[in-house]
Structure 1
């Protein structure tokens, strides 16, 4: 009997994952990760992790499986929270969920599970795994979940072959209504429970307040750039090499205050992200204002009118060599090689046609169509068919 440790989060997905594994004949152990201590920055008064760990315990009791809570808040603080603060300070927008999977669930947590004699770790992610053989060696594939609406493969885009080898995703073949129906049939306490929002395993955190713990408010100006500004039509000098041409496509525009007009004030450029339109508190505009750029050095926010403002769109992006990650290491590109893929730059974005270009310094992704709000610090992930083969942090 193979032993599986299930990360029971207190939600319906991981509850049903545990039940399905039990039905398949695995010896199942439920573990709840406690990742957070500071209750001063959650949105509501209820204590989310307490309620969640209680629900996880009730599910384990119902299924008759052993259960315990592991406190990973120290590692979470160090690997996720500190990283987030550093990224925001640099003016980048990190994705804590992708990191939590790479650094916590499939690393720290997985090591605990394996120390308990587990053969596998299972989670309630909507994705699938399969195994193929390449040059006589087993190779693991990370595939999109059967439920297009819930596919969570993107959140696992930083996993390695070693991590995938020990992972199981029991609900990957199901859609959400089927998962809820199984939970109801089994009379699991989580059957009707709403999906959790907010940071991975922390609950609903107010991000500005969270950031204010470390990043002090600092008043700066909001500048509006006209959509007809010459910066959007000016032709740059002819790039000579192929890499220079790629770099030109991926380059972001450097704005200066002189290019626009001051329309308001803000409390810190590091609290804002590209494509954001809420929280600017600038009234009297014909269309909503969208953030097209931030500069944390000068503490300036640049905005444009409407979601169609040219400052929001680019055709390419760059990933530094150190941040390029291949799940399918056998498919990694050598310098000068290209690959046609489908890619996304954020969770739930429909897949976009793109070409990867590997260079000495890193990876360029050039899209067929203009992309809105390419954001530094977020992850770009690329697929071939429904297999996620690689990813990287947008530079």
Structure 2
């Protein structure tokens, strides 16, 4: 009997994952990760992790598996929360969920599980793991979940071969309704529990309030840039190389106060992200205002009216050399090489046709169609078919 430690989160997905593994004959241990209890940064008056750990305990009792709680709040604060504050301060928008998987669940947590003699770690992610042989070597694949509506492979886009080797995703072959059905039949306390929202494992977080506890508010101006501003009809220079052209396309537009008119004030550019339309509190425009750029140095926000404003769209992005990550290291590109892929820049976005161009300066991802709200600090992930083969931080 192989031993598997399941990250029981107190939700329906990990509950059913534990049940399925037990049915398959594994020796299953449930482990709840407590990732937050820093009262200096209050998150909300509710204490969701207590409720969640309680639900996880009830599920473990029902399934007849051993259960314990591990406190990872120190590592979580250092690897996730401090990183988030730092990124927002620099005007970037991090993705805590992708990071939490790479740094906490499949690293710190995995090491604890292996120290308990586990052969594998399992989670309730909607994705699948494949195995192929290549040159006499076993290679692990990260495949999309069967439920296209719930596929969560994007959140695991930073995993390595070593991490995948030790991972199991029991519900990847199921749809969400099937998972709920199993939980109902077993009469699990989590059967009808709503899916958790907010920061990975912290629970009910309102981001601006969370950030304000570390990043001081400072008043700045909001500008509106007209869709027909001359900055959008500038002549495109001629390029001496493809790399120069891609660099130009990835650079994006640098706005100044001359490009727009003042339409309001904000409490800190570092609280906002590109593509955002809520929380600006500027009225009186025909269409909703979307953020097209932020500048934390001058503490300025630039906006445009409507979801089709030209300032929202860009075709190309750059991933710096140190931020390029291949799950399939055997497919990684050498300088000068290209690859056609399907890529996405956020969770739940439909995959888009794109080409990867590898240069010494980094990896350019050039989409066939311009993409809305390409955001620095977020992750781009690329697929071949239903296999996610690599990812990187948008720079």
TM-score category by the smaller chain? over 0.9
**Superposed CA offset, 1:325-364 (max 9, x none):** 0000000000010000000000000000000000101100
* 1:292–1:311 contact (8 Å) kept in structure 2: yes
TM-score (norm 2): 0.99
Shift of 1:46: 2.8
Deviation (angstroms), 1:8: 0.1
Show the counterpart of 1:332. Answer: 332
Indicate the residue corresponding to 2:17 in structure 1: 17
For 1:262, the equivalent position in structure 2 comes to: 262
Partner of residue 272, structure 2: 272
Q: In the alignment, is the contact (CA less than 8 A) between 1:98 and 1:155 conserved in 2?
A: yes
Corresponding position: 1:42 with 2:33: no
* Deviation at residue 248 of structure 1 after TM alignment: 1.4
Structure-1 residue corresponding to 2:240: 240
Unpaired stretches in structure 2, ≥5 consecutive residues: none
Do residues 297 (structure 1) and 306 (structure 2) align?
Answer: no
Residues 1-395 of structure 1: pairs in structure 2 closer than 5 A: 1-38=1-38, 41-43=42-44, 45-395=45-395
Q: Which runs of 5+ in 1 are unaligned?
A: none
In the TM superposition, residue 237 of structure 1 has moved relative to its aligned partner by: 2.0
Q: CA deviation at 1:239?
A: 1.4
Give CA deviations for 1:72-111 in whole Å, capped at 9, x if unaligned: 0000000000000110011000000000000000000000
When normalised by structure 1's length, the TM-score is: 0.99
The separation in 2 between residues aligned to 1:120 and 1:27, in whole angstroms, is 10
In structure 2, how many angstroms separate the alpha carbons of the residues matched to 1:41 and 1:185?
A: 38
Distance between the aligned counterparts of 1:190 and 1:103, measured in 2? 26
Deviations along 1:35-65, one digit per CA (max 9) or x if unpaired, are 000366334x431000000000000000110
Q: Deviations over 1:363-394 (max 9, x none)?
A: 00000101000000000000000000000000
Partners of 1:100 and 1:125 in 2: how far apart? Answer: 13
The answer on whether the counterparts of 1:41 and 1:206 sit within 8 Å (CA) in structure 2 is no
Q: Distance in 2 between matches of 1:41 and 1:212?
A: 11
Is this contact kept in 2: 1:41–1:210, CA < 8 A?
A: yes
Displacement over 3 Å in runs of 4+: 38-43
How much is the aligned-residue C-alpha RMSD, in angstroms?
Answer: 0.8
Q: Distance in 1 between matches of 2:35 and 2:385?
A: 35
Aligned positions, number:
394
Distance in 1 of aligned mates of 2:206 and 2:314: 30
